[in-house]
């Protein structure tokens, strides 16, 4: 009998191991598919593709573009994906995410967008220093820069121009939010807020990513935080999502939503069995 649920990956991390172990503990035969070793004939019969990937796939690729394209392919064959294509597309691009949050009236940091280095400098003059420059696509805090003054900004913008990367020449600029030395990661699973943790930056780094050495500690799940996280999740289409928030002087703001979240730090900080919640959610989605 074919496995009804598959896990698609391009590298097995702690999270994928945890999902595999949890599915086995629940008696589920989770089919594992390394996308690096897989090809698909797009003209194949839908049922043949379903024989490979099952009725539902947990898409866990580290590569955003690899995961996005296999999601589009499998959805065209009627296979459920966690998370769906439109969710992955929105969350994979910081500007698209911000626009969706604004439309849903979710509070976000002040954000400016520019399309040349010259207009980016003008935007920064309007925004003020310090400010934060982010790539529209990227994770783990890579290529995010704290711009403390105009000289720093000009040097980094010129570097981006020389890199000849079209995506890096879209300038996504945000205010530097005055906050405690931490942010908050909230994990939503469907219509449930599963867990929340404070993320503190490593020594010498202003970024709070656990992947960069930051540490996680439990964060109380207040009604305000739960409501905000679920509103942000709904704004981008829902699913298994990490909603990243900051405590600004005017209240909590959402600065990012991740559609292929790592949750090792959240799991270790809270003890919540996140892998089991994700597997149970996948079963629920498949039965709809």
Could you tell me if 204 and 102 lie in one domain?
Answer: yes
Quick check: is 210 in a domain? yes
Count of structural domains within the chain: 3
The pLDDT of residue 49 is 93
Burial class (CB in 10 A: 0-12, 13-18, 19+), 272: middle
Quick check: is 288 in a domain? no
Domain CATH code at residue 27: 3.40.50.20
CA 288, CA 286: separation in Å to the nearest integer? 6
The pLDDT of residue 120 is 97
Q: Which of 73, 77, 92 is nearest to 236 (CA)?
A: 92
Could you tell me if 163 and 183 lie in one domain?
Answer: no
The pLDDT of residue 208 is 57
Task: Split the chain (288 residues) into runs of 10 and give each run's mean pLDDT.
Answer: 80 97 93 95 91 95 96 96 97 97 98 96 97 90 89 93 89 93 95 95 61 78 96 98 95 96 94 96 90
The tokens for 70 are 């296999």
**Could you tell me where the beta strands, DSSP code E, fall in the chain?**
5-9, 31-34, 56-59, 80-82, 111-114, 131-134, 145-147, 171-175, 182-189, 192-200, 215-218, 240-248, 251-258
The pLDDT of residue 72 is 97
Domain CATH code at residue 123: 3.30.1490.20
Angle in degrees, CA 260, 263, 266, rounded to 5: 145
Could you tell me if 170 and 236 lie in one domain?
Answer: no
Query: Model-level pTM?
Result: 0.92
Q: CA neighbours within 13 Å on the CB side: how many for 69?
A: 9
CA 236, CA 259: separation in Å to the nearest integer? 9
Could you tell me if 213 and 144 lie in one domain?
Answer: no
Edge-first strand order for the sheet with 131-134 is 111-114, 171-175, 131-134, 145-147
The pLDDT of residue 204 is 56
DSSP letter assigned to residue 202: P
* Enclosing domain of residue 61: 5-83
Could you tell me if 97 and 27 lie in one domain?
Answer: no
Q: Is 252 left (phi over 0), alpha (psi -120 to 50) or beta?
A: beta
Last residue of a domain, one of 175, 198, 226: 175
């Amino acid at each position: 009998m074919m496995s009804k649920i598959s896990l698609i990956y391009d590298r097995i991390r702690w999270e994928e191991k945890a999902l595999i172990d949890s599915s086995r503990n629940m008696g589920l035969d989770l089919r594992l598919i390394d996308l690096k070793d897989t090809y698909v004939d797009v003209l194949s019969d839908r049922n043949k593709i379903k024989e490979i990937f099952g009725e539902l796939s947990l898409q866990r690729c580290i590569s955003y573009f690899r995961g996005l394209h296999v999601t589009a392919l499998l959805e065209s064959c009627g296979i459920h994906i966690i998370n769906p294509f439109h969710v992955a597309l929105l969350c994979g691009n910081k500007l698209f995410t911000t626009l969706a949050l604004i439309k849903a009236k979710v509070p976000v940091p002040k954000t400016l967008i520019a399309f040349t280095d010259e207009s980016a400098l003008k935007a920064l003059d309007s925004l003020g220093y310090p400010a934060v420059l982010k790539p529209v696509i990227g994770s783990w805090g890579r290529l995010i820069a704290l711009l403390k003054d105009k000289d720093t900004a000009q040097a980094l913008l010129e570097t981006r121009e020389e890199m000849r990367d079209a995506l890096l020449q879209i300038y996504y600029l945000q205010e530097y939010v005055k906050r405690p030395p931490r942010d908050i990661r909230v994990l939503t699973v469907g219509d449930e807020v599963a867990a929340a943790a404070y993320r503190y930056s490593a020594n010498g780094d202003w970024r709070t990513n656990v992947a960069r050495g930051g540490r996680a500690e439990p964060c109380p799940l207040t009604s305000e935080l739960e409501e905000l996280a679920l509103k942000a999740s709904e704004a981008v289409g829902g699913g298994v999502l990490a909603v990243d928030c900051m405590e600004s002087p005017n209240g909590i703001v959402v600065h990012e939503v991740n559609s292929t979240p790592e949750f090792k730090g959240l799991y270790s900080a809270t003890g919540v069995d996140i892998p089991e919640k994700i597997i149970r959610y996948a079963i629920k989605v498949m039965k709809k």
